[in-house]
Amino acid sequence: MTPRIALLGFSIECNRFAPPATRADFDRRCWLEGEAILSDARAPVPRALAEMPGFVADMDAAGPWEPVPILLAMAEPNGPVEAGLFAAMMAIWRRGLEAAKGRVDGVYCVMHGAGLTTADHDPEGTLQALVREVLGDVPFVCSYDLHANVSDRMVETVDAFVGYRTNPHLDLRERGAESAQLLRRLIAGERFHRAFRRLPMVAPTVSQLTAQGPYAEVIGLGQDLAAQDARIANVSVMGGFAYGDTPFNGMAVIVTATDAAAAEALADRLARAAWERRHRFVAHLTPLEEAVRRVLESPVPLALADVADNPGGGAAGTTVWILEALHAAGARDVLVGMLLDAPLAIEAHGLGPGARFTARFNRDAAPDAPFSRPFAAEAVVRAVSDGRVTGRRGIYAGMAMTLGRTACLQIGGLSVVVTEGRAQCADPVFFEHLGLDIGAARAVVVKSRGHFRGGFDEFFSHDRIIEVDCPGLTSPILSRFDWRHMPRPVLPLDPEARWP
């Protein structure tokens, strides 16, 4: 039998406090319909994140199959998706699924899991329910980002739940391939049970690393125990994304297994392991003044992470607190990236290398914009680019990226990368393509919460990274937000939270 597999995807991480995401945001990253999904997945430099390429490669290697590609829509993290846009996506998925009905043997869907729309807390659950509504009991596998906020509906409507295991995320391709393998087992007739536990614990983003720390321990325990038990098909421990602010926020354990009792027992054990470590899921940030002092005094190069203004978590990438403080302190040989500022990037790009001018950051920001305050300084344009780069290392490795018009501005002792489009500074190529030498810098400032660790690890070991405490839409200090939907009590906001 040549299996026919429907392919679809919806991937965006939505920050409840950021402005809505539009069609342009998806077009900029990845909007692929029909055969375009396959040609992208098989391209040397795909636009899509690596799950679909990994899935397609694994299916191709396993023998003949017939893809039924529908729509794969991905955008950089942002605010909630405009409800009308999501309805248009749903219409495309519905049309494609209805056309395939009765002639499809399985479905793979690339999800993020922390999506929102302006009218729906759970668009992934809505899409998964659509698959069931149209196709009924067809084998159905979804893969998710480790920051998924997992709803009951997401677990109920899928046969196998496959979450990333690495943060920074480096196993997307492997999880796509694993999804293909589980889907083939389902098509061959196996049936899976899913066990699901959600904890009243919203771990700050900076405490969800998988190289070390409490989260790494729980994920490692899950993989160790799964390796000893052939009944366990997948173990996913999802850290969640606080800023989604949904009624189902909370660290989640999902075990997919051929045996219900084995799945439930392992889910309980891992949930207990996470809960026992609950007091270690905290943010330890460095005040800005201390971070600046360390840059000036450190005998070794340092990386400063502006974790509160992370475009990878839906923030704009426009705040200037660190830039301003380092400039005022007279810091030298510091790289700063990347500030989203379209008017400034276009102006500098037009002036060209060597031009001197007054760089006015956030010139068009509304006076009441909480985080985008203006800053002006004398600058020299050091380099410009059209912003088309191929990711070199980390989450964007091998991917085609578009930053729009981009410039490097020399401002005192700082080399500041300014872009027309928004992207998380997670890959050294964003500096390197402008001729900047990361290895020669005294310090590098990145607007990134954690993905820079996967890209800049060859320059900065864990002990040379400083997570700076500044204001912003992705601050790990959760008490600074006005939560509306999160279930309470929850750690770390409410010390009285209890489980089970």
Chain positions contacting Zn ion, by CB under 5 A: 145, 147
> Measured on CA atoms in the order 456, 458, 459, 465, is the torsion positive or negative?
positive
Q: Least separation, in Å, of the C-beta of 401 and Zn ion?
A: 17
Under a CB-based contact definition with an 8 Å cutoff, are residues 90 and 28 in contact? no
Residue of 164, 111, 115, 169 lying closest to 142 (CA atoms): 111
Question: What is Dmax (Cα atoms) for the chain?
Answer: 69
Q: Least separation, in Å, of the C-beta of 207 and Zn ion?
A: 14
Q: Least separation, in Å, of the C-beta of 242 and Zn ion?
A: 12
Is the CB of 121 or the CB of 147 nearer to Zn ion? 147
Under a CB-based contact definition with an 8 Å cutoff, are residues 404 and 420 in contact? yes
Q: Least separation, in Å, of the C-beta of 185 and Zn ion?
A: 26
Q: Least separation, in Å, of the C-beta of 111 and Zn ion?
A: 12
Residue 71: what residue type? L
Rounded distance, CA 75 to CA 112, Å? 10
Is the CB of 216 or the CB of 365 nearer to Zn ion? 216
Is the CB of 146 or the CB of 486 nearer to Zn ion? 146
Q: Least separation, in Å, of the C-beta of 147 and Zn ion?
A: 4
Rounded distance, CA 5 to CA 108, Å? 7
Residue 424: what residue type? Q
Q: What is the CB-side half-sphere exposure of residue 153 using CA atoms within 13 A?
A: 16
Backbone dihedral angles phi then psi of residue 381, each to the nearest 5 degrees:
-75, 120
Q: Least separation, in Å, of the C-beta of 132 and Zn ion?
A: 26
Is the CB of 147 or the CB of 405 nearer to Zn ion? 147
Q: What is the DSSP string of 163-190?
A: E---SS---HHHHHHHHHHHHHHHHTT-
Residue of 60, 78, 70 lying closest to 104 (CA atoms): 70
Is the CB of 51 or the CB of 145 nearer to Zn ion? 145
Is the CB of 215 or the CB of 375 nearer to Zn ion? 215
Rounded distance, CA 245 to CA 247, Å? 7
Reading the block at residue 312, the tokens are 């990878």
Is the CB of 25 or the CB of 145 nearer to Zn ion? 145
Residue owning tokens 């597999």: 5
Q: Least separation, in Å, of the C-beta of 394 and Zn ion?
A: 13
Residue 346: what residue type? I
**Bridge-partner residues for 255, per DSSP?**
195, 235
Is the CB of 68 or the CB of 74 nearer to Zn ion? 74
Is the CB of 157 or the CB of 167 nearer to Zn ion? 167
Is the CB of 55 or the CB of 144 nearer to Zn ion? 144
The strand ranges marked E within 127-231 are 140-144, 160-163, 193-198
Rounded distance, CA 212 to CA 223, Å? 15
- Label residue 412 left, alpha or beta by phi (over 0 means left) and psi (-120 to 50 means alpha): left
Rounded distance, CA 39 to CA 33, Å? 11
Rounded distance, CA 276 to CA 328, Å? 44
Q: Least separation, in Å, of the C-beta of 426 and Zn ion?
A: 11
Is the CB of 419 or the CB of 424 nearer to Zn ion? 424
Q: Least separation, in Å, of the C-beta of 328 and Zn ion?
A: 34
User: Where is 421: in which H helix or E strand?
Assistant: none
Reading the block at residue 363, the tokens are 């010139």
Q: Least separation, in Å, of the C-beta of 205 and Zn ion?
A: 9
